[in-house]
Structures are given as C-alpha cells and as structure tokens.
C-alpha cells in the first residue's frame, strides 16, 4: 500500500482563512503578472495587506 505524500495531505487539509486568502492572492498576483495587462502592483499588495490584517484580527478573536 502506498502512503499519500505530504503535498496531497497539505492540499486536502484546509488552512486558516488568512492562509487560504494569502495563497489565493499569490496565485492571482502571478496570474495578473503573466496576463500582459497592466495593473497596480502596489495597490494590489496594499489591499491584500488590509484584508490579511482584518482576517488575522478575526482569527485572533476566535482563539481568545
């Protein structure tokens, strides 16, 4: 019998909302960079940071 590798286990294990959002944002950032369409990288990162701060705050409230 074969054991599942770590990558498949990580993909099937849901992370915190902030981890999932960060992964989505990085994938979207790469997609936009490779799309050939200009976008404001600074504003994208700034908006991502705002949401990440809020998610971290909400997650912290749940742990308290």
Read off the tokens for 29: 């950032």
Q: What is the mean pLDDT of residues 5-19?
A: 70
**Using 50, 70 and 90 to split pLDDT, how confident is the model at 12?**
low
Largest distance between two CA atoms of the chain: 49
Q: What is the C-alpha separation between 9 and 18, in angstroms, rounded?
A: 19
13-64 pLDDT, tens digit each: 778 899 999 999 999 999 999 999 998 999 999 999 999 999 999 998 876 5
- The set of residues, in sequence order, having a beta carbon less than 8 Å from that of 51 and lying 6+ positions away, is 21
- Model confidence at 10: pLDDT above 70: no
Tell me the domain boundaries of the chain: 15-63
Return the pLDDT at 62: 75
């Amino acid at each position: 019998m074969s054991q599942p590798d770590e990558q498949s286990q990580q993909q099937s294990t849901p992370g915190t909302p902030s981890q999932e959002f960060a992964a989505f944002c990085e994938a979207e950032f790469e997609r936009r960079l490779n799309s050939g369409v200009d976008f404001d990288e600074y504003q994208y990162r700034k908006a991502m940071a705002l949401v990440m701060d809020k998610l971290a705050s909400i997650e912290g409230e749940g742990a308290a």
